[in-house]
Amino acid sequence: MRTADLARKGYHVLRFWNSQVLNDLDEVIRVIKEKIVEKRLV
């Protein structure tokens, strides 16, 4: 599925480079948590 298709179904897509996940996992997790909190406030 494309990002637009997922968005229409209520999903929010986050994309990270493999290198980000491997080299800066704490930042990746921080961004994911931030987005979860943002979505709860809406």
- Could you state, in order of their start, the residue ranges of all structural domains in the chain? 15-42
Question: End-to-end CA distance of the chain, in Å?
Answer: 25
Model-level pTM?
0.77
Structure tokens at 15: 């994309």
3-state helix, strand, coil in the chain (%, to 5): 70, 0, 30
**Dist CA 11 CA 33 (whole Å):** 15
Which amino acid makes up residue 39? K
> Considering all CA atoms of the chain, what is the largest pairwise distance in Å, rounded to the nearest integer?
32
What pLDDT sits at residue 32? 95
7-41 pLDDT, tens digit per residue, is: 899 888 999 999 999 999 999 999 999 999 988 86
